[in-house]
């Protein structure tokens, strides 16, 4: 189901505001439990945060279909690379991935009330793209996370797509995969920007899709052919994404009521 043209934009904007208003209230109520019990039960952090993201999916009214979840070997650490259409993308990948995901996020998120503190508790990685030195330090930290057997995810476009298409990819995440000698797992997201449109501040219930593609091994890549790895990954995502229309593939994993 795509964006309903008969629904006035004013209703979609009102829904957008309502979702974040309700989520802010719920977050304020849930946060104390997260910070009170988390330090005593470290494994509590991530499942609790997943319930947080599932609530956001519920509020958005997203019917989620997933495809290719069995393609990656989830026992191996990896770098996940996805196109980026909406803030809903974070919630989907955190709620649906079968392993704990460590996001590489913009430094500005560190200062968002509750959210930034929660991300720090879960050992998410913040990157300051304005400072090459600090950005490289973030990459080194991500390499360490992967060495500990973790999965790291980021959106290589560096921000939300403003036209629904897949933009150019930045190099840092791919350099990370090569340094850590782990596979790249391309992920395709469809229609999340119609369910939660953060660019135009509109929201309306609908169907979204998450597709995991075949992993790309990085053993044969280095700094000399880094761009080839970037181009291959982007080509696969673009080919699978197509024109962004819902493919109707996969199985229903989560449906908002």
- For residue 48, being part of any structural domain is answered with yes
- Look up the domain containing 128 and give its range: 9-255
- For residue 29, being part of any structural domain is answered with yes
Percent of the chain, pLDDT > 70? 82
pLDDT tens track for 145-204: 787 888 988 899 988 999 999 999 998 889 889 989 999 999 999 999 999 999 999 999
- For residue 3, being part of any structural domain is answered with no
| Model pTM score | 0.87
- For residue 4, being part of any structural domain is answered with no
pLDDT tens track for 37-70: 766 766 777 888 888 889 999 999 999 999 999 9
216, pLDDT greater than 90: yes
73, pLDDT greater than 90: yes
The kind and range of the H/E element at 253 are: strand 251-255
CATH number for the domain including 26? Answer: 3.40.1130
Total of domains in the chain? 1
- For residue 133, being part of any structural domain is answered with yes
Q: What is the mean pLDDT of residues 114-124?
A: 67
Written as one string, the DSSP assignment of 166-203 is --PPPSHHHHHHHHHT--EEEEEEESHHHHEETTTTEE
Integer Cα distance of 251 and 155 in angstroms: 24
Cα angle 196, 198, 199; round to 5: 130
Displacement of CA 137 from its chain's centroid (Å): 21
- For residue 220, being part of any structural domain is answered with yes
Rg, the chain, Cα only: 18
- Say which residue, 220 or 250, is predicted with more confidence: 220
- For residue 2, being part of any structural domain is answered with no
Give the per-residue pLDDT at 42: 65
Any idea what DSSP says for residue 216?
B
Give the per-residue pLDDT at 192: 97
């Amino acid at each position: 189901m795509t964006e309903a043209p008969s629904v006035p934009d004013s209703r979609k904007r009102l829904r957008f505001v309502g979702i974040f208003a309700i989520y802010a209230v719920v977050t304020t109520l849930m946060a104390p439990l997260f910070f009170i019990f988390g330090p005593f039960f470290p494994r509590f952090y991530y499942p609790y945060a997943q319930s947080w993201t599932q609530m956001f999916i519920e509020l958005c009214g997203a019917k989620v279909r997933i495809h290719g979840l069995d393609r990656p070997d989830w026992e191996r650490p990896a770098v996940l690379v996805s196109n980026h259409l909406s803030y809903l993308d974070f919630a989907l990948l955190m709620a649906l991935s079968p392993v704990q995901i460590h996001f590489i996020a913009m430094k500005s998120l560190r200062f968002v009330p509750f959210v930034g503190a929660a991300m720090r508790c879960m050992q998410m990685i913040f990157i300051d793209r304005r400072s090459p030195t600090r950005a490289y330090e973030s990459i080194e930290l991500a390499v360490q996370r992967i060495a500990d057997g973790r999965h790291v995810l980021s959106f290589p476009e560096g921000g939300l797509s403003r036209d629904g298409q897949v933009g150019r990819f930045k190099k840092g995440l791919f350099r990370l995969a090569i340094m850590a000698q782990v596979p790249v797992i391309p992920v395709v997201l469809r229609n999340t920007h119609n369910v939660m449109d953060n660019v135009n501040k509109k929201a309306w219930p609908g169907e979204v899709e998450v597709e995991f593609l075949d992993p790309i091994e990085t053993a044969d890549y280095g700094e000399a052919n880094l761009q080839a790895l970037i181009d291959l990954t982007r080509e696969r995502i673009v080919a699978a994404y197509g024109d962004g229309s819902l493919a109707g593939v996969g199985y229903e994993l989560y449906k908002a009521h």
